Amino acid sequence: MGFQDRDYLRTNASSFGGGGARRFTANTLLILACVIVGMLDTVLPKQWVQTSQVQFVEGGEKIARELSASKEWIIAPAMDPNTKQSFGTALMVPVQAKTGEVRPPVGTINYQFVSPLRKWLQFTTAQALIDITPQGVGGFEFWRFIGFQFLHVGLMHLVLNMVGLWVFGPLVEERLGAKRYLAFYLFCGMMGAFLYLVLNAGGIGAQAMMGESVKIPGLLFTDPWTPLIGASAGVFGVIAAGAVFRPNETIVVLFVLPMRLATFAVLVIAFALYNMLSATQNAGGETAHIGGALAGWWLAKRPHLVNDFFSILGRGPRGSTQHLRASRGSGTERVAASTVEVDRILDKVSAGGLQSLSAAEKDTLRRASDARKS
């Protein structure tokens, strides 16, 4: 089946601004947002951002704390902001604010030159949770749970994620509606970051209690300042939900291999799980993939939770479970009429089989079945 033959790519019920124009779908807007952020991330002037904890020299941590407590000294990185290199190691040197006197370095940090968007939106355990440094207490920057989902490390990373949204997003948006789909997607991404944070904090805690040599499969032992960026967690949530909604939908992997959507979802999630447990270089990213996929699968199995929680967003698209529930109203006549119609169709199936039903009757039966499941 080609992309143009799929019902969910022809639907025009799920859109922003009314009219059903495809260009206003939530999925299209997500893709445009990621592309625009990617372009800005490339052209904006670079700033340095910390990518590791401070590595103190012997006795340096005590000196840094004493100087910070006195408030007569500051700790600042000594680096050339005009360097051509993207990565580097900065010296942490105490500098007296009044006289400008510089004392020997007390430690080093790793840093990277990135755009302001990367600096303020990327997700790290230290910035999202808590980080205690000689400069004070930081963290609790909760906007990063959403912001990191629009950043990408390069063109290929961006293209792969946007292709995933383009192929699988319309299927899920058709079922949930534009506004709920947007909320669903961002929630999956947030759950990917949350799982990353929990396993990273667990790994750091395990090393603090049992020594740095401890290795427990599944925990992340990366530096809490290691950045997490990308839309992949949300995309994995969309793939998992698509596999629940339409498990038998056929996709063509790499334009060569036809495969059921449910099979494809199981394979990519299993691959991510293997990489996470094997502690590969991208174990942190794979952890976010697993978190997003679990959130997407769990919500897709319980669509009434999406509808109930986001009821403030209005009705879902025509034909969705939420729209059916809202359109019934509270009148007993409407419920009774629906029950009579379903009973009539079931009697017809008993007499002549499914082939005896019209397209409208099949649609009525399907919608009644979805409503009962929810």
- What CATH topology corresponds to 3-40+148-313? Rhomboid-like fold (1.20.1540)
Q: Alpha carbon 343 to chain centroid distance?
A: 43
| Backbone torsions φ then ψ of 256, nearest 5 degrees | -130, -45
- Model confidence pLDDT, tens digit, residues 326-350: 444 444 444 554 676 777 777 777 6
Give me the residue spans of the domains in the chain. Answer: 3-40+148-313, 48-114, 329-373
Sign of the CA dihedral 274, 164, 141, 187? negative
Triad 261, 265, 271: Cα angle to 5°: 145
- Model confidence pLDDT, tens digit, residues 84-133: 567 888 888 887 767 777 888 888 888 888 999 999 999 999 999 877 66
**What mean pLDDT, rounded, does the chain reach?**
82
Which has the closest alpha carbon to 57: 88, 87, 101, 93? 93
Interatomic CA distance for residues 233 and 218, integer angstroms? 17
- Model confidence pLDDT, tens digit, residues 31-83: 999 999 999 999 999 888 889 988 889 988 888 777 776 666 666 666 565 65
Q: Alpha carbon 174 to chain centroid distance?
A: 20
